[in-house]
Amino acid sequence: MEICGVVIIMVIIFGAAKIWDRKYFIVILAGAVLCFAAAVINKTGSSETNIDHLKKSNVGEGRKIKELVAKVGNEEGKAEEVGIDVSVPEREYSKEECEKILKDESALLTERILGENKSADRIEYDINLPSAGNNPAVSIDWYSSDNEILNWEGKIGDEVPKNGTQITLKAVLTLQTEELIYEEKLKVYPKVSDGSLQEKLVNEIEEENKNSVEENYYLPDSVDGEKVVWYEASEESYGYVAALLLVAGILLNISKKQKEDEKKKQRTQRLKKDYPELVSRLILMLYSGSSLRNAFYSIGNNYRKRKKEGEGFKRNEAFEETVILCHEIENGITEIDAYENLAKRCALPAYRSLCVALIQNQKRGGGHIIENLEQEVINAFEEKKRQARIASDAASMKLLLPLVLMLAIVFALMMIPAFLSL
């Protein structure tokens, strides 16, 4: 609690000194206050709640560690607080409870072990031998009077007489220090075959190589009177390879589309960024007495010259579009069509507005083109400032998110113990 108070004071000092942004200051201060409140609740709850016992965990859950504080002394001024970890054992059954549980488990064993067999007088399928009772605290150890007939895993052996043989199955059920012996007489018969072709083939192979000491392991040439031809199975991986190629093609196509979308997004951002410079250049050229066509030619030719020289060249998307516009006019396309194509290629509101003004000037003439372009410049710079603010806010939010997550974790670490102690 003292640490929380110190943190609050430091946060207020840093906030007063304007070291942090106001948003960060509010979030951190709120978190520190919440932590302080949680510490007060924890402290108050601990001091007012006196306990004289701890609840043991259930059987099988093991020991648990409880953190306690012992206040030693009667006088308030001389009382001493000591922290201690107490290891609380799990609950144990009484002897009577153990005997009852073991008896109930023993009564259910015969039904549990039979599995597919109908009765203990005719065991033709492997049986189930569980290692624990329905109560997981009960452990079960199994023993068979003849492991060649029926082993401790419940598997029927290969040397069982056709007429069957009787064995004794024994289990020792243990719960804490108490034990109970379970015994059951079973009549075991040869294991019933499921009649599948696979099992018949396996039996034929074993019969073919019975007691064989040769280097070769022989395969039967017939089963149930039917001819059998053997060959090694080939790994049919071609289908998987084809499927992987298909998946790879889909992923590559998705990746390519994402890259194209990213390029388009970056180009759009550059067009927005370069728009004010293009319009400013146009205004300067028009003020110097150039026509619109000559203004575009001058901007395009200067840009191509700098691009060819290479030294200190920086790509400008708006000027790139200007070069394309000049090529179209040189190749015989009318100025109006060239401006329409420019608007389509750029597909941004600012460029469409510019092209509309240029087309109207071509159709109607008049001396308002410079005023229109100056208004476009003002709008462009306002948009540029707005985009800068949006980018700044987005960056601030990205920095704020990890801080909020850390605050949530700290708050959880403080509040959960507080509520558990109530």
pLDDT digits (tens, 9 = 90+) for 81-137: 777 888 888 778 888 989 999 999 998 888 888 888 888 888 888 888 898 888 888
Residue 74, domain member (yes or no): no
| Number of other residues whose CB lies within 10 A of the CB of residue 171 | 19
Same domain, 27 and 122: no
Same domain, 347 and 416: no
Same domain, 353 and 402: no
The answer to whether 109 and 184 are in contact (CB under 8 A) is: yes
The number of residues making up the chain comes to: 422
| Number of other residues whose CB lies within 10 A of the CB of residue 136 | 9
Supply the mean pLDDT for the chain: 80
**CA–CA gap between residue 352 and residue 275 (Å, rounded):** 12
Instruction: Work out how many domains the chain is built from and give that number.
Output: 3
Same domain, 285 and 357: yes
Same domain, 40 and 131: no
pTM of the predicted model as reported, rounded to 2 decimal places: 0.41
Residue 158, domain member (yes or no): yes
Residue 242, domain member (yes or no): no
Residue 212, domain member (yes or no): no
Same domain, 291 and 358: yes
Residue 290, domain member (yes or no): yes
**CA–CA gap between residue 359 and residue 354 (Å, rounded):** 9
Higher-confidence residue: 385 or 334?
A: 334
**CA–CA gap between residue 193 and residue 162 (Å, rounded):** 13
Residue 199, domain member (yes or no): no
- Whole-Å CA distances, 274 to 224, 343, 381: 86, 15, 11
Same domain, 261 and 361: yes
The string of pLDDT tens digits covering residues 207-262 is 778 777 788 888 888 887 788 888 776 655 555 666 676 677 777 778 888 888 89
Mean pLDDT of 183-196: 80
Q: What is the pLDDT of residue 231?
A: 77
Same domain, 290 and 352: yes
**CA–CA gap between residue 327 and residue 304 (Å, rounded):** 12
Domain end among 188, 204, 227: 188
**Cα dihedral sign, 317-322-328-333:** positive
Lowest mean pLDDT among 72-76, 94-98, 322-326, 412-416: 72-76
The answer to whether 318 and 275 are in contact (CB under 8 A) is: yes
C-alpha dihedral, 244 to 245 to 248 to 249, nearest 10° = -150
**CA–CA gap between residue 278 and residue 274 (Å, rounded):** 7
Residue 64, domain member (yes or no): no
Same domain, 99 and 163: yes
Domain range spanning residue 35?
1-50+398-422
**Cα dihedral sign, 116-122-128-134:** positive
**Cα dihedral sign, 202-208-213-216:** negative
Same domain, 409 and 354: no
Q: Which residue has the tokens 């007939």?
A: 149
Residue 411, domain member (yes or no): yes
The answer to whether 278 and 318 are in contact (CB under 8 A) is: yes
Domain end among 134, 165, 188: 188
Nearest to 408 by CA among 12, 22, 35: 35
148: helix, coil or strand? Answer: coil
Domain end among 160, 188, 216: 188
Q: What is the pLDDT of residue 2?
A: 58
Same domain, 271 and 338: yes
